[in-house]
């Protein structure tokens, strides 16, 4: 939906002085709240609220034949959908292009990071593997649903437990959970999307700020040891990003990672210990 020109000009003028409507600095996130185990039926679930943006994520596990080129590795699929009540621009029906893009970017950030040990999801080489399905549902869209979804997916995966599986009967007892978690690594991906509004960059936009943006770049960053790793990147919108913009993105992404990860880890750790 088109943002009124007067609102766009106000956002741009504020950013020239490193200010925003809600008082945040350009590279500062809104209040973040993570909940887990919000579903009784999913093998893992989480709810993430970034400001007023609200997403729910569920992880389901099934069994299928592996892909021909990865015969000893498990599989994963990510789906994303905006609820018709998430905002006035969202309607009931099949996912639109923005929903499909969010699902693919979340998928790629997790897949390329090595966060999941795919080989440990193999049941029988070339015959049967565990398949992970991640479903993301945005119930309120006030901007930056992409980053909220990526974080929710990571939290849900961390909480996921295998269902009871009878190998002889090849049957899964859904609703009955083991204590065995998914085989995850320390390569935890954190997706952050930088938006360009006017000549300035910002992160975690509200709905109006996101509508005012003319370019964006999503990074899925991890830090398994001492060095940062960019696991995936996704450019969006029509305008270009300059070389100086890219330098700012790289520099600020490391600062954002260092400031956000401790908060995220603490919230998930407290929930895990309950």
pLDDT over threshold 90, residue 6: no
**Based on the number of CB atoms within 10 Å of its own CB, is 68 exposed (0-12), middle (13-18) or buried (19 or more)?**
exposed
**pLDDT confidence of residue 76:** 97
* β partners of residue 140: 54
Q: What are phi and psi of 21, to 5 degrees?
A: -55, -40
Is-contact 160 182, C-beta < 8 A? yes
pLDDT in tens, 119-147: 999 999 999 999 999 999 999 999 999 99
- Interior angle at CA 178, CA 138 and CA 106, nearest 5: 30
pLDDT over threshold 90, residue 274: no
**pLDDT confidence of residue 265:** 82
The CA distance from 225 to 113, in Å, is: 13
pLDDT in tens, 178-206: 999 999 999 999 999 999 999 999 999 99
Name the helix (H) or strand (E) containing 7. Answer: helix 5-15
pLDDT over threshold 70, residue 31: yes
* β partners of residue 136: 57, 80
pLDDT in tens, 225-257: 888 999 999 999 989 999 999 999 999 999 999
**% of the chain at pLDDT higher than 90:** 80
Residue 152 burial (CB count, 10 A): 31
Q: Record the pTM.
A: 0.93
Domains assigned to the chain: 11-273 (3.30.230.70)
pLDDT in tens, 64-123: 999 999 999 999 999 999 999 998 888 888 888 999 999 999 999 999 999 999 999 999
**pLDDT confidence of residue 2:** 58
**Based on the number of CB atoms within 10 Å of its own CB, is 42 exposed (0-12), middle (13-18) or buried (19 or more)?**
buried
């Amino acid at each position: 939906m088109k943002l009124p020109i007067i609102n766009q000009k106000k956002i741009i003028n504020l950013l020239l002085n490193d200010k925003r409507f809600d008082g945040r600095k350009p590279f500062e996130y809104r209040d973040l709240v993570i909940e887990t185990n919000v579903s009784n039926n999913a093998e893992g679930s989480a709810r993430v609220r970034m400001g007023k943006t609200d997403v729910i994520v569920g992880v389901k596990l099934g069994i299928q034949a592996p892909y021909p080129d990865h015969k000893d590795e498990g599989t994963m699929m990510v789906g994303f959908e905006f609820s018709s009540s998430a905002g006035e621009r969202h309607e009931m029906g099949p996912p639109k292009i923005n929903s499909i893009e969010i699902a693919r970017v979340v998928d790629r950030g997790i897949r390329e990071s090595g966060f999941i040990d795919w080989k440990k999801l193999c049941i029988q080489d070339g015959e049967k593997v565990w398949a992970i399905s991640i479903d993301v549902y945005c119930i309120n869209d006030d901007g930056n649903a992409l980053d909220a979804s990526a974080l929710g997916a990571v939290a849900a995966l961390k909480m996921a437990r295998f269902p009871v599986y009878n190998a002889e009967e090849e049957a899964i007892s859904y609703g009955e959970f083991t204590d065995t978690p998914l085989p995850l690594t320390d390569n935890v991906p954190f997706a952050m999307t930088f938006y360009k509004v006017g000549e300035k960059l910002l992160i975690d936009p509200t709905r109006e700020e996101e509508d005012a943006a003319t370019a964006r770049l999503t990074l899925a960053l991890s830090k398994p040891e001492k060095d940062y790793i960019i696991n995936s990147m996704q450019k969006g919108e029509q305008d270009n990003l300059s070389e100086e913009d890219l330098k700012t993105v790289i520099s600020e992404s490391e600062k954002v990672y260092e400031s956000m990860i401790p908060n995220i880890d603490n919230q998930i750790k407290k929930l895990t210990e309950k």
